Structure 1
Amino acid sequence: MTTHRYMHLALVIGDAGFHQAAWRQPDSGVERLSELSLFQQLAQRAERACIDSLFVADVLGSDRTNHASWPTNQLEPLTLLSALAAVTRQIGLIATLSTTYTPAYTLARQVLSLDHLSGGRAGVNVVTSRGGQQLYGLEQLPPHEQRYQRAAESLEVARQLWDGWAPDAILGDREHGRYADPSRIHETAFRGEQVSVHGALPAPRSPQGRPLVVQAGTSEAGRDLAARHADIVFTMQSDAERAADFYRDLKQRAVAQGRRAQDLRVLQGVTPFAAASARQAEALQHALAELTDHRQALQRLSSLLNGIDLTGQALDRPLPAALVQQARQAPPSTAASEMLALIDRQASLGEVAQRLVASRGHWTPVGSHDDIADQLQARFDAGHTDGYVILPAELGASLDGLLDQVIPRLQQRQVLRGQYRGNTLREHLDLPLPAWQPPFQGKQS
């Protein structure tokens, strides 16, 4: 553990960029979205920049309407990251999995396998999903509370399974033919309201103790889940004051769970536009805005805001109060909450739709390389975040500006590490090796 506080970074990969229109640029690489070579090059560039981890987001299910204007989610996260583990040496690998559809034992085994294959670099971003149920034989999505209860039970089961093998379980005694000591391999016996598992994994404990757990929900249930189980919280907070409030709240909840505040990393999502000058950065942003399919943008916004009818609404005016009230009738997602906050500040309909397709509500600083470095450092130094999940708008100029100019500036200031100081994801994040806890024997509810 280092005493110096370093900013932590994760880079989201998996598509042609976070902006809905990024793929339309001539050099977007959209033709290669199903090719390993594209992501291999991105991973190796990120590793040269000493970014802590790669992060693959995922949405289960395929919406044909979205594909009309936006290629996304083509490759399954664990498969992609397993391939990238073979062509990288140190960068962390975080995959998104849904506890609503993935059995707890399967989740625990798959993530632990990636962790071993990568030498202790794996993490899992746990989501509860907002759709896709019919792909898994369900007519209806389970209620919100039930999905979060299942997530909490799945994570507890995963922790127990990951600790099933004691650190000294493997004997490796060739002479006497004893590979492992069965008394040091403990079965999990868990029976909850949503999850029941009895048994053990066939693989030993992780090189980093346990794979890291990431959680991204901002609801009360999501925050409680993160405070109890997460090593990293990925948050969407475009406003600095709201980001600071969220940061303090998560740290306090972690302490209330008996944890140390510094053992939970809160990383804020950011989609930066960085160039040699502020004018050039604004031109990058404007070029993507010009390529945006506004009809599709309004459809996405309508879907996000409880299906409100935006037909005939003026793009240069705020939404009428009646439509805003209708949008608030359904429990909002994190992205919807960010859009509603923008609406409350009297942003025009066109501005809100453009923000959705550009960053989906994440913070979007625009400026010179020095400007962006200053802004990222300011929120970090102010204690609003432990670092950032970088969601590049596109894979060309704006990502180049970040990797080749902004990150070196932060490293020169000693805000970011200039080299890895270990081989595991926990070491990159300055998180302690978790103490081994044998699985609880008995029923839990």
Structure 2
Amino acid sequence: MTEQVHLGIALERSGWHPAAWREASARPRDLTSARHWRDLLRTADDAGIALATIEDALALTDRFEDVDALRRDRVRGRLDAVLIASYAAPLTRRIGLVPTVTTAHPEPFHVATGIQTLDFASRGRAGVRLVAGASAAERANFGRRSSGVDAIPASGRVEDSAGILAAFREAGEFADVLARLWDSWQDDAIIRDAATGRFLDADRVHNIEFEGEFFSVTGASIVPRSPQGRPLLTVLAHQTVPYRLAAEHADLVFITPHDADGRPGFALPGILSELDAAADELRTGRERLRVHADLLVLIEDTEAAARSTAQRLDEWDGAPLTSDARIVVGTPADVADAVRELAAAGVDGVRLRPARQPADVVAIAEKVVPLLRSTGTLREDDGAGTLRARLDLARPESRYVRERVSL
């Protein structure tokens, strides 16, 4: 039997190739238009793609890019990912909407209420992707921190940087606070009994009373419990420390296996084994961590055309495209084959990063998805009402209901 996966897509301004905005098919004047994002998300939605993540950042530069040597031949500026998702919520039907949020500067209370509101606006299709860390450019934009994450250590290991370790501890607290705030209203807290004048049962709204290393949050959310109970919480992870963050706090983790080039620590079996071990140690509850693998894709009808396009983009940018994810430059069949390989290896889903938008988004929707569907690789939409249900994740009960029952 063919192993099946959910398919996701990762949207990033004009695409994941830095020179994508210069393509003839690109729409650089539309990158800050509502129409641009509506069209991309509707294309993915109509194709049956399960979820779309939307990239975001808190600085004009890319992370760790030198502020004093800012390249002017790349796309600069972006729209707020949570607001894009909220705008698209009533304009889409089934696709999950998962904006990116950096955990170093926004307050978890604000993020919790924003994502809950998105969950209501989308009728249960909201999620969030948390990014740990605070670069120098981000810190300068907020002016509240003197230290943060200025560079990846020479070893490449998160464990060798005290700043990065602190950023991931902060991200863990951030995720914990989100979940507690999402649980703070029980499902039946709102009574709406006009005859007795009781709109709310105050005993079913709970202050979270959280005190941690980075955050101190006393009260309950201002937003009632949303359709999914807890919207989908996701992270991208490459090595041990972020794997442990995902295992303890996330519903879904995006990973970046590189089986083809033999990079140490990037073989898929090793990643899955490490995630399983971390989950056994840290995870509470019965729900299994879902694992989706990333691929960066550039798609043309022939391999020669795809290679030619990639070469042209690389020449415009002045260097070959590099990525934390495996890069597939080829035909729709090549991308479908790569997805099937990952499905056979045991992942729950695959997230495709289009090198060019909208060209590769359209190619995924119109050519890759039908190929995956024809071979039975794509998990079909079963009509489940929420993103959690579509991904076979149970709707969690509020922790405060469990606590009251156990008293």
1:10-43: CA deviations, max 9, x gaps? Answer: 2122411110111111221011111000110111
Alignment counterpart, residue 277 of structure 2, candidates 249, 252, 261: 252
Q: Partner residue of 1:91?
A: 95
- Distance apart, 1:67 and its partner CA: 5.0
- Distance apart, 1:221 and its partner CA: 2.4
Alignment counterpart, residue 20 of structure 2, candidates 14, 19, 22: 22
Would you say 1:362 and 2:325 are equivalent positions?
Answer: yes
Q: Which amino acid aligns with 1:148?
A: F
TM-score, with length taken from structure 1: 0.79
Alignment counterpart, residue 410 of structure 1, candidates 351, 361, 372: 372
1:327-355: CA deviations, max 9, x gaps? Answer: xxxxxxxxxxxxxxxxxxxxxxxxxx413
1:217-256: CA deviations, max 9, x gaps? Answer: 3343211111000111122233356133112211331132
Cα separation, 2, equivalents of 1:393 and 1:261: 37
TM-score, with length taken from structure 2: 0.86
Percent of residue pairs bearing the same amino acid type:
30
Q: Partner residue of 1:272?
A: 297
Cα separation, 1, equivalents of 2:290 and 2:359: 29
Would you say 1:134 and 2:100 are equivalent positions?
Answer: no
- Distance apart, 1:163 and its partner CA: 0.6
- Distance apart, 1:121 and its partner CA: 1.0
Alignment of 1:269-308 (within 5 A): 269-292=294-317, 294=318
- Distance apart, 1:205 and its partner CA: 1.2
- Distance apart, 1:287 and its partner CA: 2.9
Cα separation, 2, equivalents of 1:221 and 1:439: 31
- Contact 2:342–2:350 (8 Å) recurs in 1: no
Alignment gaps of 5+ in structure 2: 62-66, 150-162, 261-265
Alignment counterpart, residue 230 of structure 1, candidates 237, 247, 250: 250
- Contact 2:247–2:283 (8 Å) recurs in 1: no
Alignment of 1:30-45 (within 5 A): 30-45=28-43
- Distance apart, 1:107 and its partner CA: 1.8
Alignment counterpart, residue 212 of structure 2, candidates 192, 197, 204: 192
Distance 1:382 1:145, change over 3 A: closer
Q: Which amino acid aligns with 2:141?
A: L
Cα separation, 2, equivalents of 1:400 and 1:167: 40
Cα separation, 1, equivalents of 2:207 and 2:114: 18
Cα separation, 1, equivalents of 2:165 and 2:109: 21
Cα separation, 1, equivalents of 2:51 and 2:330: 25
Distance 1:73 1:232, change over 3 A: farther
Would you say 1:152 and 2:186 are equivalent positions?
Answer: no
Distance 1:72 1:430, change over 3 A: farther
SS in structure 1 at match of 2:395: coil
Q: Partner residue of 2:157?
A: none
Q: Partner residue of 1:349?
A: none
Q: Which amino acid aligns with 1:136?
A: F
- Contact 1:161–1:439 (8 Å) recurs in 2: no
Would you say 1:243 and 2:268 are equivalent positions?
Answer: yes
Distance 1:291 1:231, change over 3 A: same
1:131-171: CA deviations, max 9, x gaps? Answer: 11111112322622222222111211111111111122121
Alignment of 1:35-434 (within 5 A): 35-63=33-61, 65-131=69-135, 132-137=138-143, 138-141=145-148, 143-239=163-259, 242-259=267-284, 263-292=288-317, 294=318, 353-356=319-322, 360-383=323-346, 385-434=347-396
Q: Which 10-residue stretch deviates more, 242-251 or 48-57?
A: 242-251
Cα separation, 2, equivalents of 1:28 and 1:62: 21
Distance 1:276 1:116, change over 3 A: same
Q: Partner residue of 1:320?
A: none
- What is the Cα-based RMSD across aligned positions, in Å? 2.3
- Distance apart, 1:258 and its partner CA: 4.1
Alignment gaps of 5+ in structure 1: 295-352
